Structure 1
Amino acid sequence: MLLSFRVANHRSIREETELSLVATELNEGTAHETGVRSEGRPVSVLPAVGIFGANASGKSNVLHALRFMRTAVLDSFADWGRRAGVPREPFALAPEAREETSFFEVDLLLGRQRVRYTYGFELSDERVEAEWLHAYPSGRRQVWFDREADRPQDEGGEFRFPGSGLKGHKDLIVSSTRPDALFLTVGATLNHPALSAVHRWFVDNLWLVTPGADVPARTEWTRKKLTDRKAGAGLRERLGALLAAADLGITGVTLDPESGEVQLLHRTADGTSRPLDFWDQESLGTHAWFAFLGPLLHVLDQGGVLLVDELDSSLHPILAAEVIRLFQAHEANPRTAQLIFTTHDATLLGPSVAERPLDRDQVWIALKEATGESRLHPITAARKARRDDNLERRYLHGHYGGVPRLTSGEIARQIARVEEELRATREQEVTGPPEP
């Protein structure tokens, strides 16, 4: 489970920003218990959080930062050495940001024992400047390793392993770790059991769903899963139920007995069902929902983290709300899979407590400053964010930020002004400048 993610100096995110999935005292029942206690109190996690904000506010960059961290953990050893430098993306609107490190850190609960781990690193253009892994097997912190590129030799050199928390071979991992590779990646490559367990979380998690562009790939992946002999039958049943629940006229999923191709069954006027050609006869909306369900069911099965950019672009608002409720439901999500999504859809905030699928501590707002920097804050940080607030209306009225600063009709007035200026320019080109 993901407890929190922190990032700095990545794309539009300049200053350190945190996205927390730990439930607060304002949660009203959507959180899932972890069985872990912190400072004597039980820790519960949020199965879903939504990031709201205006266009270009930086919502998508939060998800991109999570994906970049995953890519770094998976590829730094094998791929980064093939190019010059580290392929990071620091904040571009301040030249000095290029000289500053980019920072990434996750807080996790892993394994049946729900052990907490904190793993992170800092990158420059040339190398890994810092990296660390802390574990809390008995509730108290153990520093498994601590890496600093500029640490003097008399302080233990670049790598420190204080205590006996990280057992097993370490010298070989240290000697195999290039300045531009992550120690965690190298350790997992060399089959260190403890490091591989943390590395495995990145392998299995942070599937990113984006609007439009990746629909064909997700569709094909889902179709292949449905034809799998072992898991396909159960998956077809579950996916068919979700397709039918979406009121698309679909009654189930089957395989063509001759070709083995996936077919969606549709209701007919006489009460029977018949398949339609998936590519030529199914609607784009059906394709989008079908492509969304494959990753969704996979993440629910694995207890992983699903990232969805622009949830409202992929799904109708009613379907989007039901997806959120699916992750909230304990019986439908027993492994506490998590959903992190971005959206413009204010209806997901709901006009009342009963109608909104999200608790207040599940709502985050992305803001773009005048400097071009993105900032992220929970809606609970707003003053007087009461339980009975109409969050939808207050959000649209700008009480929490994250909405475009526009007055009614401003876009039309701006277009009219430009058109008038262009007309005046054309007239002057025809008549020439006025006489002195």
Structure 2
Amino acid sequence: MLLSFRVANHRSIREETELSLVATELNEGTARETGARSEGRPVSVLPAVGIFGANASGKSNVLNALRFMRSAVLDSFADWSKRPEIPRQPFELDPDAQDETSFFEVDLLLGRDRVRYTYGFELSDERVEAEWLHAYPSGRRQIWFDREAGRPEGEGGEFRFPGTGLKGQKDLIVTSTRPDALFLTVGATLNHPGLAAVHRWFVNNLWLVTSVSDVPHRTEWTRKRLTDRKSGARLRERIGAMLAAADLGVSGLTLDPESGEVHLLHRSADGTPRPLDFWDQESLGTHAWFAFLGPLFHVLEQGGVLLADELDSSLHPILAAEVLRLFQDHEANPRLAQLIFTTHDATLLGPSVVERPLDRDQVWIALKRTTGESQLYPITAARKARRDDNLERRYLHGHYGGVPRLTSGEIARQIALIEEGLRATA
């Protein structure tokens, strides 16, 4: 599971920024115990966090940074050598940022023993400038490897392996690692057993669900999973139940065993279920919900991390709130899958449409500074949020930041002034 993510110099994120999924003392019951301890204290994690903010505030860039880190771990060895330079995206609005490294780091709890790992790297356009993996198998840090480009030979060369934490053959990995490839990627490619757990986490996690563009792809992926001989029947039952519960007029679904075509069932005037053609007769909202359910159940089954960009664009606020409650329910989410989502939908802060499904430490704000840099912080850091606060109203009134700086009717007045100026010069 993911404890925290740190990033710097990626897209609109200029300075080092952290998104934490570790519960705080302000949590009111959504946190889940992990069995792990840090500095003698038990560590609890959040099954869901939401990033709220205005348009172009950088919310999506946090998810994009996580996805970039995943692609780097998966593809650096096989694909980066085919490119003229490492495909990073430093902050564009400051020329100095182009010469600075981009930084990515995750804190993870892995395995049945809940061992903590810290893995990260720094990239320039030409090479991996730094890379590290630390493990805490007994609560104390072990440096499994530490890489720094340009380190003198007298200090152990570019790669150091202090202690005996990372066991197994390492020389072949070192000689096979290009300057523009990650050591973790190469090690996993060469089947190093000690690096497998961290690499496998990136392979199996950080699924990204976007608002509209990938609905056809996710629909097709979900449809194929429904035809699986081993798990398809259970998935059909679960998705059918969720479609019916969403009050979309759908009472169930059928699957043609030969063609694999999915038909959703609707009650006709005489009360009998009637199948409709999925693409031609179902609404866009039904398409979005169906396409969301496939990745949702996959992550819940695997205990992974789902990234949902603009959750409110795909789902009604009541459905979105139910998705959050699904992740926070112990029986529905026994493997402690996690959801990180972005949204504009202040109703998820309650209580105008739904009772607030998020604790205060699950709410984060993205804010765009005048320099074009994004700032990310928990709502509790903006101003102390009391348990009885109406977070929705206070957020919309700008108490926590992350909302457009507009007065009522300002856009209409600006347009009127422009039109008046055009008429005067005509």
Same fold (TM over 0.5): yes
Q: Summarize deviations over 1:287-322 as a string: whole Å, max 9, x none.
A: 000000000000000000000100000000110111
State the secondary structure of the residue aligned to 2:77.
Answer: coil
Aligned runs of 1:33-112 on 2, under 5 Å? 33-112=33-112
AA in 1 matched with 2:236: R
Aligned runs of 1:93-242 on 2, under 5 Å? 93-242=93-242
Q: Could you say which residue in structure 2 is the equivalent of 1:315?
A: 315
Q: Report deviation, 1:239.
A: 0.6
Residue 317 and residue 160 in structure 1: after superposition, are their counterparts in 2 closer, same or farther (change >3 A)?
same
Inter-partner Cα distance in structure 2 for 1:94 and 1:2: 31
Q: Report deviation, 1:271.
A: 2.4
Inter-partner Cα distance in structure 2 for 1:388 and 1:295: 35
Gaps of 5+ in 1: 427-436
Q: Report deviation, 1:263.
A: 1.7
Q: Could you say which residue in structure 2 is the equivalent of 1:297?
A: 297
Q: Could you say which residue in structure 2 is the equivalent of 1:250?
A: 250
Q: Report deviation, 1:351.
A: 3.0
State the secondary structure of the residue aligned to 1:113.
Answer: coil
State the secondary structure of the residue aligned to 2:93.
Answer: coil
Q: Could you say which residue in structure 2 is the equivalent of 1:369?
A: 369
- What's the Cα RMSD here? 1.2
Q: Report deviation, 1:416.
A: 0.6
Q: Report deviation, 1:256.
A: 2.3
Q: Could you say which residue in structure 2 is the equivalent of 1:28?
A: 28
Contact 1:308 1:341 in 2 (8 A): yes
Q: Could you say which residue in structure 1 is the equivalent of 2:416?
A: 416
Q: Report deviation, 1:283.
A: 1.1
Q: Summarize deviations over 1:218-238 as a string: whole Å, max 9, x none.
A: 000000100111111000000
Contact 2:383 2:399 in 1 (8 A): no
Inter-partner Cα distance in structure 2 for 1:338 and 1:225: 21
AA in 1 matched with 2:137: P
Structure of larger gyration radius: 1
Contact 2:347 2:354 in 1 (8 A): no
Residue 260 and residue 87 in structure 1: after superposition, are their counterparts in 2 closer, same or farther (change >3 A)?
closer
Contact 2:46 2:362 in 1 (8 A): yes
Residue 255 and residue 192 in structure 1: after superposition, are their counterparts in 2 closer, same or farther (change >3 A)?
same
Q: Report deviation, 1:257.
A: 5.0
Gaps of 5+ in 2: none
| TM-score, reference length from structure 1 | 0.96
Inter-partner Cα distance in structure 2 for 1:209 and 1:225: 17
Q: Could you say which residue in structure 2 is the equivalent of 1:432?
A: none
Q: Could you say which residue in structure 1 is the equivalent of 2:9?
A: 9
Contact 2:5 2:107 in 1 (8 A): yes
| TM-score, reference length from structure 2 | 0.98
Residue 140 and residue 257 in structure 1: after superposition, are their counterparts in 2 closer, same or farther (change >3 A)?
closer
Inter-partner Cα distance in structure 2 for 1:259 and 1:161: 55
Contact 1:53 1:59 in 2 (8 A): yes
